[in-house]
């Protein structure tokens, strides 16, 4: 037996409807924030890869957008394509549900799950249940709908039961050389991560008042030693949205940019000079050409 045969490496898709905690789960599994989170349903729009190497086993997690069942513009169709293509390309699927919640949106995602590879049911937010016995009838109800290779209740936010989840995944990771270096945590570059962190702050600091038609473009990214100079544009659909984002005397935009810069400095381990502008690009979310320009699949 050669040394390489002792190594295991495989892809694990994290799927579920919006807001079940997929990105929080990914971030806690790899121990670093690479996938943005907020209460908005369209927070994750791209396929985000998170890499965890534990000894001879390398877990390559693929965080997918929440499967969109409501609106049908080009952006949502793009996100749904990411979900379905990811399911075809992985070794294991984590189907994430919120404890005691299962509705038609979860059902639609369940119908996409492949029959030809292991699916592990991950019941998130289990810590929010006062009586843990309430989980048993819920587990019975869901496991009657299809076969699962394993069922693991977790708290992604608190990082609880994640070792148990990794142990459930491990038997399904095939033998093979590691695909990434041991210290890599994602295959996304810093430019992409900077755009995502800024977009997260837009969602977090505008609440429900700003529609989903917001995107971020990094127009300039220069590294000078440990300093990164980043010029970013936030794209909105209407002038009214622009005013909403900038806020009175520019205070809202300043707050968004400051919080995004602090997150970037933490992730990149260096100083960041960040300039942010707001630009109106009407109809970008329903333009296939614009979406391709913005890096959507």
Partners of residue 54 on adjacent β-strands: 57
Q: Confirm whether residue 125 is marked as ligand binding.
A: yes
**How many CB atoms sit inside 10 A of residue 251's CB?**
10
Q: Confirm whether residue 232 is marked as ligand binding.
A: no
Tell me the two tokens of residue 207: 């609440």
Q: Confirm whether residue 242 is marked as ligand binding.
A: no
Q: Confirm whether residue 106 is marked as ligand binding.
A: no
Question: How many whole angstroms separate alpha carbon 297 and alpha carbon 268?
Answer: 25
Q: Which of 90, 107, 102, 93 is nearest to 22 (CA)?
A: 93
Q: Confirm whether residue 116 is marked as ligand binding.
A: no
Q: Confirm whether residue 176 is marked as ligand binding.
A: no
Q: Confirm whether residue 20 is marked as ligand binding.
A: yes
Radius of gyration of the chain (CA): 20
Tell me the two tokens of residue 68: 């969109």
Q: Confirm whether residue 16 is marked as ligand binding.
A: yes
Q: Confirm whether residue 49 is marked as ligand binding.
A: no
Q: In what order do the strands lie in the sheet containing 8-15?
A: 48-54, 57-63, 8-15, 92-98, 119-124, 150-153
Q: Confirm whether residue 65 is marked as ligand binding.
A: yes
Q: Confirm whether residue 153 is marked as ligand binding.
A: no
Q: Confirm whether residue 258 is marked as ligand binding.
A: no
Tell me the two tokens of residue 11: 């892809």
Helix extents (H) in the chain: 22-30, 74-88, 104-112, 135-143, 162-169, 190-206, 239-246, 251-268, 288-293
Q: Confirm whether residue 22 is marked as ligand binding.
A: yes
Please check whether residue 35 is in contact with residue 26, taking contact to mean a CB–CB distance below 8 angstroms. Answer: yes
Q: Confirm whether residue 64 is marked as ligand binding.
A: yes
**How many CB atoms sit inside 10 A of residue 227's CB?**
12
Please check whether residue 1 is in contact with residue 12, taking contact to mean a CB–CB distance below 8 angstroms. Answer: no
Three-state secondary structure call for residue 79: helix
Burial class (CB in 10 A: 0-12, 13-18, 19+), 135: middle
Q: Confirm whether residue 183 is marked as ligand binding.
A: no
Which residue shows structure tokens 């490496």?
A: 9
Question: How many whole angstroms separate alpha carbon 162 and alpha carbon 168?
Answer: 10
- Binding residue ranges for GTP: 16-23, 63-67, 124-127
Annotated binding site: 16-23, 63-67, 124-127
């Amino acid at each position: 037996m050669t040394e390489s045969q002792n190594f295991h490496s495989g892809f694990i898709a994290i799927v579920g409807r919006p807001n079940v905690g997929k990105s929080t789960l990914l971030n806690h599994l790899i121990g670093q924030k690479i996938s943005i989170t907020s209460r908005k349903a369209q927070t994750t729009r791209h396929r985000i890869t998170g890499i965890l190497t534990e000894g001879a086993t390398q877990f390559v997690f693929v965080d997918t957008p929440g499967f969109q069942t409501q609106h049908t513009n080009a952006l949502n169709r793009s996100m749904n394509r990411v979900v379905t293509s990811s399911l075809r390309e992985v070794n294991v699927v984590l189907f994430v549900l919120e404890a005691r919640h299962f509705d038609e949106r979860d059902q639609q995602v369940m119908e996409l799950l492949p029959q030809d590879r292991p699916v592990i049911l991950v019941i998130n937010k289990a810590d929010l249940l006062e009586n843990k016995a309430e989980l048993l009838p819920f587990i019975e109800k869901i496991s009657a709908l299809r076969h699962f290779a394993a069922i693991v209740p977790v708290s992604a936010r608190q990082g609880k039961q994640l070792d148990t989840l990794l142990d459930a995944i491990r038997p399904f990771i095939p033998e093979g050389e590691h695909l990434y270096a041991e210290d890599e945590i994602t295959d996304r570059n810093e430019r992409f991560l900077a755009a995502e962190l800024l977009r997260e702050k837009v969602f977090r600091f505008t609440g429900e008042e700003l529609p989903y038609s917001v995107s971020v473009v990094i127009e300039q990214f220069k590294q000078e030693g440990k300093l990164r100079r980043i010029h970013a544009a936030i794209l909105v659909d209407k002038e009214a949205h622009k005013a909403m984002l900038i806020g009175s005397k520019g205070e809202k935009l300043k707050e968004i940019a400051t919080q995004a810069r602090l997150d970037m400095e933490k992730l990149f381990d260096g100083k960041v000079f960040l300039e942010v502008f707001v630009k109106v690009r009407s109809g970008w979310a329903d333009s296939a050409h614009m979406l391709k320009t913005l890096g959507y699949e």
